[in-house]
Amino acid sequence: MNEVSFHNFRVSAAQAIANAHLQSAIDGATLKFRNGRRAMLADLPDVEAMRDHFKAMRSATLAHLTDYLEQFECNARAAGAQVHWARDAAEAQQIVIGIARQHGAQLAVKAKSMTTEEIHLNAALAEAGITSVETDLGEWIVQLAAEAPAHIVVPALHKTRQQVAELFSREVGKPLSADDIPTLTAEARRALREKFLAAQIGISGANLGVAETGSIVLVTNEGNGRMVSSVPPVHVAVMGIEKLCPTWDDAAVWLELLARSSTGQPLSVYTTVLTGPARPDDPDGPRELHIVLYDGGRSRLIGTSYEEVLQCIRCGACLNHCPVYQEAGGHAYGHAYSGPIGAVLVPLLLGLEQYEALPHASSLCGACLEVCPARIDLPRMLLDLRAEEVTHGIIAPPEQAIEKSAAWLLRHRRLFNLLTDLGRVFQRPLVRHGGLWLPRRLNPAQERQLPSLAPRSFHDLWEELAAEEAAPAPVARRRLPSRRTTVTLAGLSLLPLALLWRLLRRKGGKRR
């Protein structure tokens, strides 16, 4: 099934662009995060060296991932945790459902986790008769609205407070005013506390795992990660196999870059570390801790030119700086992972054919690479995925034909020059104010004018400049090369055709 075809993406993006509220919500949130990131990184003594160090650590960990996974498993078991391995989403779902059933759980509370979004855990739990409640405020809002997250870090970015008030009123069974934010948050807190106390199982992801102690780390701003992992008697954490670092020194760098790149904070408000279940003298904590190490196609990428994408720490900085995400919004990507990281990761994990439009959801401006704390070269991978689409014949036949013709033409310089010279002649009736006037149906950019062909090509200017520099002394202005003269004459001979075309167009216009 084609999940995000070009058509689907264009339709969703057009809807998002037409939604003034969404546009202003995205602009406001992403601007705030961009400014926060800039200010927080400027605070560090040598942030570029820190990013280099982090990149090197992530690369080295992935190069020896099997060893670190074994070390992590061994130390987590030694600390009393139970470690499970899941090859794909179905296996991960069954492991979590199995643990829930083993404890007779009917209610689960969940902390925000992109990995559990990835495996559609809530839907699988519901099918198994287990109610799962999101406890991150943003995740709870999108769950109540039966929608997918619109941003990796801010899932309910697209919701107005009126919409939130409506959802909360329905949930708590009494009318709540959109203007009374303290009451809205107090009601949410009250409703969620009841769930924390009633749940038999807590579920989370893991921002990272530390191999040297077998610990997992949860990062939240609302403290719900701490509640989910300490109030219910059983806790299950689903962690992607790539979210591993060797030591606590590495984890410190990870955490420092994560919060600064993500929400522009020096550190997230709550950083929760779980090393095994609660000890007998601990005042709280789960009696059982399960860690599900989830592959889901990641191991397939190890050793390939796409391995680098596994260095992602889901900070969302690339979304906040991406001009396409800022216009199209998160839902156009058809997956919980949106923005530049989603455009690369989703086709790699779930199939390029199903998500053919995503590698094209980029202007290739390079902002994502510039801001990524792990310096992941997403633009290169977007281009590689586009090339794969051509190689595997995934793009639509007309587009394939156009791209093949363009590639052929670019390999034949003389013909290319001839056609562009002819184009300069034929475009004359269409050039207005330095741009090309085209009927709306022929102009994909619509609001913008396409640029006209420059009067002289770069190659011609370059050759002329090189010739002038090579000349021993200043010389009189050089005559045009004979090829150009010939072509210009050929173009002029076609001028009557252009005039005839213009005449016909006018007549057509009058008839209409």
Q: How many residues bind ligand SF4 (CB under 6 A)?
A: 13
Give the nearer residue to ligand SF4 in terms of CB position, either 103 or 360: 360
Rule CB under 6 A: choose which of 83, 156, 227, 318 binds ligand SF4: 318
From CA 149, how far away is CA 138, in angstroms rounded? 8
Q: Per rule CB under 6 A, is residue 4 in the interface with ligand SF4?
A: no
Locate the DSSP E strands across 60-165.
82-86, 107-110, 131-134
CA distances from 206 to 244, 329, 506 (A): 10, 26, 66
Q: Per rule CB under 6 A, is residue 330 in the interface with ligand SF4?
A: no
Give the nearer residue to ligand SF4 in terms of CB position, either 168 or 325: 325
The interface region with ligand SF4, picked from 58-66, 167-175, 312-320, 473-481 by CB under 6 A, is 312-320
Q: Per rule CB under 6 A, is residue 58 in the interface with ligand SF4?
A: no
The answer to whether 468 touches 461, Cβ cutoff 8 Å, is no
Q: Per rule CB under 6 A, is residue 110 in the interface with ligand SF4?
A: no
Give the nearer residue to ligand SF4 in terms of CB position, either 73 or 118: 118
Q: Per rule CB under 6 A, is residue 236 in the interface with ligand SF4?
A: no
Q: Per rule CB under 6 A, is residue 108 in the interface with ligand SF4?
A: no
Q: Which tokens go with 125?
A: 């739990």
Q: Per rule CB under 6 A, is residue 112 in the interface with ligand SF4?
A: no
What are the strands of the beta sheet with 431-432, ordered from one edge? 431-432, 435-436, 450-451
The interface region with ligand SF4, picked from 16-24, 310-318, 323-331, 402-410 by CB under 6 A, is 310-318
Rule CB under 6 A: choose which of 100, 199, 317, 348 binds ligand SF4: 317
Look-up of token digits 């640029």:
451
Rule CB under 6 A: choose which of 154, 313, 358, 425 binds ligand SF4: 313
Instruction: Report in angstroms how near the CB of residue 306 gets to ligand SF4 at its nearest.
Output: 12
From CA 263, how far away is CA 259, in angstroms rounded? 6
Give the nearer residue to ligand SF4 in terms of CB position, either 150 or 318: 318
Rule CB under 6 A: choose which of 237, 341, 381, 385 binds ligand SF4: 341
Q: How many CB atoms lie within 10 A of CB 99?
A: 21
Q: Per rule CB under 6 A, is residue 149 in the interface with ligand SF4?
A: no
Rule CB under 6 A: choose which of 119, 167, 219, 312 binds ligand SF4: 312
Instruction: Report in angstroms how near the CB of residue 252 gets to ligand SF4 at its nearest.
Output: 17
Q: What is the dihedral of CA 187, 190, 194, 199, to 10 degrees?
A: 80
From CA 119, how far away is CA 226, in angstroms rounded? 22
DSSP three-state, residue 209: strand
> Per-residue x/- mask for ligand SF4, residues 356 to 395, rule CB under 6 A?
---------------xxxx-x-------------------
Query: 191-198 — which CB contacts under 8 Å span 24+ positions?
Result: 192/109, 192/133, 192/135, 192/140, 192/224, 195/107, 195/109, 195/133, 195/135, 196/109, 196/135, 196/227, 196/228, 196/231, 196/232, 197/231, 198/107
Residues lying near ligand SF4 in the complex (CB under 6 A): 312-318, 341, 371-374, 376
